[in-house]
């Protein structure tokens, strides 16, 4: 909302002289009337109508790119500064300048970088928030979700869905690991629906064969017979990098791709074919050598991590150069386009977003940039 300061008692700062819009000038009688309404915990709609019913969305979030080379040293330094026991989790979170009050990276999405030493483990807990991890570096990381233990490597994508017991660690034989966390914590808080429980034993037992979720649910277009499932999230918890990248490369051979996104695949819940969790979706996209997508904008908030290659994106008319492991966001209704600067190598962008929310609430809308051949002029 507008941060502009107004004279005390001013009520007509949102006037618009457009038919069908509120255009009421303050008068002493009206101001007095407004003050009476205020005492009744009420107000006159026409003083705020144009503010609360804008012509189109204007995001509170800024487009931001977080360079990994900047963040990494601080993330590593946290190892010396705090213990996992004291910190709960040793995480540096991304704090969008427009969303500091809710600790969001963009819109209602939280994101942070978490680091763990070999032999460390965070305590087990469960919460209403839906969570994911995307592995950035290191070996030996694992996650346990409701008794299912998964081993993790770079670019693997892992779910720790709403309501599940989950914990993370790095095996004693591993190396220091860093991953990106993504959660809907700000949304859960906004909807006043957040519950949090620490596991009574601080650790959960591993009750299934390691990586059983992938072995059971990771077949292509195959459903295990013994696979009853009635949760609102995917039973497949880990999406490994190798088959994902292979699928993208295969798909790239037979598609022109989207003019706006190149070759993009959504991670899905194999039970339904839909999004992996009810509030967070995710995708991996491949930009071919030299590809420069056209600009479009849509509602919803999107967090990107560069998994492969280097290039730049133009977001809201501003250029953001990126290379592997950099993270950036695209706020709602901001025009954006992506460029792979390599002439020989593809580039890959991991993304998580609130598309499931936008879709189930009927809020999704999309628009191509009509002017300038579909490319944004880049601001100086």
CA distance 36 to 303: 45
Per CB under 8 A, 4 contacts its own copies: no
Show contacts with its own copies in window 306-365 (CB under 8 A): 331-333, 354, 357-358, 360-365
Which listed residue (18, 205, 368, 378) binds its own copies by CB under 8 A? Answer: 18
364, exposed or middle or buried, with CB in 10 Å at 0-12, 13-18, 19+?
A: middle
Q: What is the dihedral of CA 41, 42, 48, 49, to 10 degrees?
A: 140
Among 109, 112, 303, 341, binds its own copies (CB under 8 A): 112
Cα separation, 325 vs 135, in Å, equals 10
272 lies in the binding site for its own copies (CB under 8 A) = yes
Q: How far is the CB of 239 from its own copies (least distance, A)?
A: 6
SS3 52: helix
Identify which of residues 64 and 170 has a Cβ nearer to its own copies in the complex.
Answer: 64
In the set 10, 175, 223, 368, which binds its own copies (CB under 8 A)?
223
Subset of residues 145 to 204 that bind its own copies, contact rule: CB under 8 A: 162, 185-199, 202
Q: Which tokens is 42 given?
A: 């009420």
Would you say how long the chain is, in residues? 380
How far does CA 166 lie from the centroid of its chain? 19
Contact set for its own copies, span 42-81 (CB under 8 A):
42-46, 48-49, 52-60, 64, 66, 70-71, 74, 77-78, 81
Q: Is the dihedral of CA 241, 244, 247, 253 positive or negative?
A: negative
Is 118 an interacting residue with respect to its own copies (CB under 8 A)? no
Q: Minimal distance in Å, beta carbon 336 to its own copies?
A: 15
- Closer residue to its own copies, CB minimum distance, 226 or 343: 226
- Residue of 263, 265, 300, 297 lying closest to 280 (CA atoms): 300
> Does 215 help bind its own copies (rule: CB under 8 A)?
yes
Closest separation in Å from C-beta 361 to its own copies: 5
């Amino acid at each position: 909302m507008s941060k502009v300061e107004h004279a005390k008692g001013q009520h007509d700062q949102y006037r618009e002289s457009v038919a069908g819009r509120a255009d009421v000038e303050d008068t002493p009688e009206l101001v007095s009337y407004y003050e009476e309404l205020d005492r009744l915990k009420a107000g006159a709609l026409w003083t705020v109508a144009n503010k609360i019913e804008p012509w189109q969305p204007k995001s509170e979030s800024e487009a931001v790119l977080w360079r990994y080379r900047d963040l990494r040293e601080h993330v590593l330094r946290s190892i010396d500064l705090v213990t996992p026991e004291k910190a709960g989790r040793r995480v540096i979170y991304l704090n969008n300048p427009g969303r500091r009050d809710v600790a969001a990276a963009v819109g209602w999405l939280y994101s942070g970088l978490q680091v763990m030493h070999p032999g460390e483990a965070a305590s087990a807990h469960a919460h209403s928030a839906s969570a994911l991890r995307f592995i950035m570096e290191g070996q030996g990381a694992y996650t346990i979700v409701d008794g299912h233990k998964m081993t993790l490597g770079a670019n693997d994508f892992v779910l720790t869905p709403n309501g599940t017991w989950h914990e993370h660690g790095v095996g004693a034989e591993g190396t220091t690991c860093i991953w990106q966390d993504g959660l809907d914590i700000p949304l859960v808080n906004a909807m006043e629906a957040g519950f949090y429980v620490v596991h009574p034993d601080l650790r959960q037992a591993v009750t299934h064969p390691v990586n059983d979720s992938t072995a059971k649910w990771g077949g292509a277009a195959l459903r295990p017979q013994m696979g009853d499932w009635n949760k609102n999230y995917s039973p497949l918890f880990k999406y490994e990098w190798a088959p994902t990248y292979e699928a993208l490369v295969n798909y790239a051979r037979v598609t022109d791709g989207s003019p706006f996104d190149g070759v993009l695949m959504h991670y899905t819940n194999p039970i339904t074919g839909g999004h992996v969790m009810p509030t967070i979706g995710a995708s991996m996209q491949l930009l071919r050598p030299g590809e420069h997508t056209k600009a479009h904008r849509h509602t919803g908030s999107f967090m990107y991590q560069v998994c492969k290659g280097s290039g730049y994106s133009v977001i809201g008319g501003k250029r953001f150069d990126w290379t592997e492991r950099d993270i950036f966001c695209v706020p709602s209704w901001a025009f954006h386009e992506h460029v792979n600067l390599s002439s020989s190598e593809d580039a890959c962008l991991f993304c998580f977003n609130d598309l499931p929310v936008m879709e189930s609430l009927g809020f999704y809308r999309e628009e191509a940039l009509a002017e300038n051949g579909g490319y944004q002029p880049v601001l100086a």
